[in-house]
Homo-oligomer: A and B are copies of this chain.
Amino acid sequence: MSTKFTQIGGSKRSLHVQVACEMARSIILGELPEGEIIPGEMDLCTQFGVSRTALREAIKLLTSKGLLESKPKVGTRVRPQQYWNYLDSQLLDWLIDMEKTAYLYEEFLALRKAIEPEACASAARFASVEQRMQLSELFQKMDSIAKGFDQDVWVDVDLEFHRLIFISTGNSFFLPFANVLSTMFKSYFHHASKRGTTCIEEHRAIYEAIMAGNSEKARQASQALLTASDHELEAIK
């Protein structure tokens, strides 16, 4: 286990987050296998070159995300992968910066196909008056941007559109998806840089269905958009 980790320092993020990120990396890459007891706190402190306070806060962070589990005397062990909370935006942020994680985009699209049509249907039924106003405002912005296409601006507005839909469901459990979606989008457009389709007509269909309170139509429109996204993903591979 000697000198597995490199010294930390220099970056802008807080120390314990950097340490947590490094450890998460090791765990995800399988350098620290599931069930394995990781080195003791003191060992890790010297390896990372940080104090025990910082290290422990890093461990608490990873414990909260389901990656670690520690007991007095026995040590801190890596929990089985099935307990990792992939729907945590911070964890996801660390994941997608790694190699061989392209498959995550496909898996995420599969999740979206399950969840977003239902979210759109719910939004059509439960969105408040205020939320419908916000959605209307947002879509008008999208519509105008779609013509003179500017990718950076588009991503932000597109994201806000989908986020607002999740919020408008009024279902607490749909909220985390908005955040995860945000993380995935940003990373996706960052890596697969130049791409140009806005699918504005598909978005319009969703928008109009939600405004009309037609949940069945909203569901179908969302499915249509995601099928289009599917073709995009194929084109890139």
Contact = CB atoms under 8 A, between A and B. Distances in A.
B16 A104 contact: no
A114 interface: yes
Contacts of A85: 85, 87-88, 176, 179
A167 B80 CA distance: 12
Interface stretch (A36-44, A54-62, A147-155, A208-216): A54-62
B81 A175 contact: yes
A64 B86 contact: no
Nearest to A172: B86
A66 B114 contact: no
A178 B82 contact: yes
A218 interface: no
A173 B53 contact: no
A219 to B, nearest CB: 10
